[in-house]
Amino acid sequence: TEDVCQVEAKRLWNAMSKDSHNLLPKVLPEIFASVTLLQGDGGVGTIKQLNFTPANKDFSFIKERVDEIDEEKMVYKYTTIEGGSLGEKLSAASFEVKLVP
């Protein structure tokens, strides 16, 4: 999908790629109870656990692995490795987010 945003691309990139563990529960508290870094410092190889509020009736958490961060091209790739619909509806889930100024 493609979305248009009024926030400057670099500012959104920094929030998304470097500070999402702090930002998501603040911006979307009705969805995210917390985001915890389980391994790593936010860079490639980092494992995050996203804990959902009871509003999400399908599942309580997902774990994601950061696969690629390209600062210059503003590309962020990650894979859901546990939780969510994995094993029930999905066998794997990988995502790519690209910001275009």
> What was the pLDDT predicted at 90?
82
The total number of structural domains in the chain stands at: 1
| Residue 51 within any structural domain of the chain | yes
Tens digits of residue pLDDT in 5-64: 888 888 888 888 888 889 999 999 999 999 999 999 889 999 999 999 999 988 999 999
What does pTM read for this prediction?
A: 0.85
Residue 33: inside a domain: yes
Domain containing residue 70: CATH number: 3.30.530.20
Q: What pLDDT does 53 receive?
A: 97
- Give the pLDDT score at 84: 86
Residue 3 inside a domain? The answer is no
What residue numbers bound the domain in which 24 lies?
A: 9-98
Q: 22 lies in a domain?
A: yes
Q: How far apart are CA 46 and CA 65, in angstroms?
A: 6
Strand order of the β-sheet with 75-83 is 32-39, 47-52, 61-70, 75-83, 93-98
Residue 55 lies in a domain: yes
Is 4 inside any structural domain? no
Asked if residue 66 belongs to a domain, the reply is yes
Give the burial string for 46-82 (b: 16+ CB within 10 Å, else e). Answer: bbbbbebeeebeeeebbbbbbeebeeeebebbbebbe
What tokens does 54 get?
């009871």
Cβ contact 66:78 at 8 Å: yes
